[in-house]
Amino acid sequence: MDKPKYYLTTPIYYANSRPHVGSAYTTIVCDVIARYKRMCGYDVAYLTGTDEHGVNIERAAEKAGVTPQELVDRNQKIFVELWKLLGIQHTHFVRTTSVEHARAVQMLVRRTLRRSPHAIYKARYEGRYCIYDNLYVSDSPEPADCPICGRPAELISEENYFFRLSAFQQRLLDLYAKDPQFVQPDFRMNEVKSFVEAGLKDVSISRKSIKWGIPWPDDPEHVFYVWYDALTSYMTGLGFGEGHEGDANRTFQRFWPADVHMIGKEIIRFHAVYWPAFLMAAELPLPKQIFAHGWLLFEQEKMSKSKGNVAYPEPIVKGFEQVAGAKVGNDALRYYLLRETVFGQDGNFSRDALITRYNADLANGLGNLASRTVSMIDRYLGGEIPPATESAEFDIEVEKTIGASRIKFDNFDFSGATEEIWNLISVVDRFISDAKPWELAAEPSKKERLAQVLYDAAETVRVVTVLGHPVIPDATQKVWEQLGQKGKLADVRVDQLEWGGLAAGTKIGKPEAVFPRVDKTEAYERIEAMEQEIRNPAAAPAAGGTGSAGTGGVAAAPGTAKISIEDFAKVELRVGIIKSAERIQGADKLLKIFVDIGDEVRQVLAGIALSYAPEDLAGRKVVVVTNLAPRKMRGLESNGMLLAAAAGADGKPVLCTFAEDIAPGSKVK
């Protein structure tokens, strides 16, 4: 029988800057849905892409001294690379500067003019518009500030093509009434309804003032305005634009309409009002659902590059991997984002909470359960899954978890689904602690009981790996193999999952820890140092070394390229005398140090707390790098760096110091 189809999309990301954790959030969530749906037997098309037109791209390119095309080519690659790093399994990637997309947009407007000749007309537009958020702030020429970013909006006055949105008010209201699931969550549906009930204004869908866009068919002075252009990409990616009416492509016919457009809450109006109206006018099927999630906040505000409060995914993934010595970063980030935030509402991003979650739920939770179960089968049962002889103790509990977590996945309640799964992990943990297999193993008469206990534990781990796979794909595949299971976990059907799938006699694999614990301070500092490199590539000390941020960073490895004396002279080194030092709460390795450098006393954070007690440091003469760009760690500013040697195999910091009397501020060269 033919598989049912499922088509989901992320928004098409602006290609004017690199993606941050907020952008990755939508993409990761969609990847979890795509993987889950595939495991439920669907043929899934998952589209993402880059939004490469518009005035903000033009401006970003100008600032960077490159052409818009060069800028978007460069940034698009960063998106593709990041999605690869995060294990995103999209099936389609659309670029709005592609020839296919231009054809699709022009085809859509031509089709609309044929089928609904009054839906589009030409008129003068005057209004205020925010170029950063691509938002009409007001339809009058009076000065106005953008409600999203607060910046003054620009005056636009020119002839435009308009879409007669006002004519679609009733049809939209009918749609919402007939299908209350069209917009989710419910409270967003209510917002959209109120907005439409208040009356709709026609919207401009072309621009004369912008050059960087798709030309209007037969009127190339106009280019398409960003939303008409961007929204159409959901169809372009599937091959819309072919044949007389645009809808001849087989992939398009199979997958359109979308089952869900996943978006952030600030772009709901464009998706839940404009988009269905554009499609109604073109007589094309409407998407089945628009789901608007909340924002990831960082330091209490929406994470965004223009506000400067961003965290990037690469340092998290790579930082975790370096500190843990295993490929765990991707799972760590995915699990944290899905588990910590109630999907649909705003959530807070914190590196501290991310690392805590990793250690508690992944290292101590699933990782520990899997490795102790597999190790005990290895040690006590010769590495073979035993037959289940007695009746299982919590098969009912497991079946309940399968049902409950599936309902939650189906409803996009990811924090709820993961909570169900991790509750089951706690139940098995307790069961093992109570049953004490290590004691059963010592008594030959308890052999059957031992076999049953370990069967139950291993079977539950198997179920957990299947349910958890969409969220943490890397580690679950490894546990799957440790349980002696063949093939790809992704091919297992979660909708057919039930108790008892583990076959007696299966040879287990090598027991190995899938989530090594990480030292919190070390992980935090490593991630922050790498982050700094992205934000400020010239100033940050290289990441990937000892992790003792602020104590000299990483020395050039022997054999790396030589530098000239001019390069060395760029580093300003001075004698400093430590005035005082104190510990920083929650940071095991960092000390806050006040150091006199002659003409001022600087605050410097140094990762030397494991080698030096703060009270022993006052009066010590040290070498300070004084012209390093200030950086923040743990919310505190570090304004300089103390030089230290990395001693022994563990790189223990030893401060550079002077035996002779020397005045603070003296130059070191």
Binding site for ligand MSP (CB under 6 A): 11-14, 22-23, 25-26, 51, 230-231, 263-264, 266-267, 295-296, 302-304
Cβ closest to ligand MSP, residue 121 vs residue 187: 187
Q: How far is the CB of 537 from ligand MSP (least distance, A)?
A: 22
Of 13 and 136, nearer to ligand MSP (C-beta) is 13
Radius of gyration of the chain (CA): 29
Q: How far is the CB of 13 from ligand MSP (least distance, A)?
A: 4
Q: How far is the CB of 12 from ligand MSP (least distance, A)?
A: 4
CA 212 – CA 219 distance, rounded (Å): 15
- Match 């992320």 to its residue by tokens: 10
Q: Which residue has the tokens 């990480």?
A: 518
Which among 516, 424, 417 is positioned nearest to 470, based on CA atoms?
417
Q: Which is nearer to ligand MSP, 16 or 548 (CB)?
A: 16
Using an 8 Å Cβ cutoff, are 257 and 288 in contact?
Answer: yes
Whole-number minimum distance, CB 206 to ligand MSP, in Å?
17
Tokens coding 604 = 């410097």
209 versus 348: smaller Cβ distance to ligand MSP: 348
Helix residue spans in 205-249 (DSSP H): 226-236
Taking the complex as a whole, the smallest distance from the CB of residue 152 to ligand MSP amounts, in Å, to: 20
Q: Find the shortest distance in angstroms from Cβ 69 to ligand MSP.
A: 18
Residue 144 C-beta: closest distance to ligand MSP, Å:
21
CB of 304 or CB of 322, closer to ligand MSP:
304
Residue 50 beta carbon to ligand MSP: minimum distance, rounded to whole angstroms: 8
Contact between residue 313 and residue 333 where contact means Cβ atoms under 8 Å apart = yes
Report the residue number, 230 or 326, with the smaller CB distance to ligand MSP: 230
Is 584 in a helix, a strand, or coil? strand
Give backbone dihedrals phi and psi of 324, rounded to 5 degrees, phi first: -85, -20
If the CB atoms of residues 341 and 485 are measured against ligand MSP, the closer one turns out to be 341
Q: Which of 127/344 has CB closer to ligand MSP?
A: 344
250 burial (CB, 10 Å; 0-12 / 13-18 / 19+) is exposed
Nearer residue to ligand MSP within complex by CB, 11 or 319: 11
Cβ neighbourhood burial of 364 (10 Å; 0-12, 13-18, 19+):
middle
Distance (Å) of CA 319 to CA 312, 470, 530: 11, 22, 7
Tokens of 295: 């924002």
Tell me whether residue 35 or residue 101 sits nearer to ligand MSP (CB atom): 101
Q: How far apart, in whole angstroms, are the C-alpha atoms of residue 528 and residue 633?
A: 7
Please tell me the distance from the alpha carbon of residue 362 to that of residue 335, in angstroms, as a whole number: 9
User: Where is 161: in which H helix or E strand?
Assistant: strand 154-163
Least distance in angstroms from the C-beta of 413 to ligand MSP: 17
> Running DSSP on this structure, what letter comes out for residue 539?
T
Cβ-proximal residue to ligand MSP, closest one: 264
Q: How far apart are CA 578 and CA 613, in angstroms?
A: 13
Tell me the CA end-to-end span of the chain in Å, nearest whole number. Answer: 77
Question: 490 by DSSP, 3-state: which?
Answer: helix
The residue among 214 and 377 lying less far from ligand MSP, judged by its C-beta, is 214
Residue with tokens 């059963």: 440
CB-CB contact of 115 with 246 (8 Å): no
- Cβ closest to ligand MSP, residue 24 vs residue 622: 24
Rounded least distance, CB 277 to ligand MSP, Å: 15
Rounded CA separation 172/166 (Å): 10
SS percent in the chain: helix, strand, coil, step 5: 45, 20, 35
> Minimal distance in Å, beta carbon 335 to ligand MSP?
17
Question: Which residues lie across from 158 on neighbouring strands?
Answer: 125
Q: What are phi and psi of 200, to 5 degrees?
A: -115, 140
Residue keyed to tokens 């700094």: 532
Residue closer to ligand MSP by CB (options 26, 532) is 26
- Cβ 51 to ligand MSP shortest distance, Å: 4
State in angstroms the smallest separation of the CB of 224 from ligand MSP: 13
**Closer of 13 and 225 to ligand MSP (Cβ):** 13
Cβ atoms of residues 326 and 317 within 8 Å: no
How far does Cα 351 stand from its chain's mean position? 13
Nearest CB to ligand MSP, comparing residues 72 and 267: 267
Q: Whole-number minimum distance, CB 231 to ligand MSP, in Å?
A: 5
User: Which of these, 12, 80, 33, lies nearest to 263 by C-alpha position?
Assistant: 12
Residue among 566, 668, 573 nearest 626 (CA): 573
Task: Provide the minimum distance between the beta carbon of 78 and ligand MSP in the complex, in angstroms, as a whole number.
Answer: 13
Q: How far apart are CA 580 and CA 606, in angstroms?
A: 13
